[in-house]
Structure 1
């Protein structure tokens, strides 16, 4: 029997492995669909399939919001509050900031700029990837096209890396201009 604690663990990402393990057939259909949701879904999917899933506690919803953020931020370097609040179901900046501080340093490391209302993604643990094999349990809530594949994951990570390099280069260029400007001003 799968313990409900795994739906609250902000460091856990092995939901698909739990779906496909040997004794997964002994789990209820609701539990199996909830595992599928946590492996591949987002908060919006919970809202759409809620009647088929286990009811989630506030802490379990927070975990699903964390996974939603991981999915959304996989190919981004920064995200504005205006995008995150509706995505994660928050109505105020304070609620969003409390949540971000709660999950920071778990599967995601981020910086919150409350003044600019911006979240910078420093590192992120990728969501699970569907790997088909002999004991893969078929997806019920999602199609193969709706979930991460290895090719899609590589593409997202490559895009994230390119954006990161571009941002570092821009920062270095600004700093060099400031140093040059300071040197010119000092010489005068």
Structure 2
């Protein structure tokens, strides 16, 4: 049983959070909370090539935001993400991959290394953004917003690489998925929003 005391202990030491992940599986990898009212479409971020992507250009699209890493046990999810992107991109769906090195130093490379790795190993063609922090005081404003909209078991912090946020056409964060949620497991949710 997960008690409030255990939840606090897990929040302090995320490496001890395996039971929380097991609990997340019981709720089919989907994590819900109430939303607050900031607008996703007012944000922007730099692509890995240094160009600014204004999220207002994503209005009317369904967006999946993922914190990615090249040396993670979940890195194989790049294949499934690319399959989702290929299948739905012409119907108004996109994926934004945000490399992050905050979890086990699993994304140590620079921009060129990341791009080469993604394209050579997984054929990634969806937008890859500049490397960011997703937790802490210097977390990306995109991630500060996403975490404020959907908490994970009542905590904002990102637990590990390949957590996913699903945003509808109106810019509302409608779901948050754990690292263990495969891209294929989200397909039905994406279809509903398109």
* TM-score (norm: length of structure 1): 0.25
Q: Which entry has the higher C-alpha Rg, 1 or 2?
A: 1
Question: Which structure: greater helix fraction?
Answer: 1
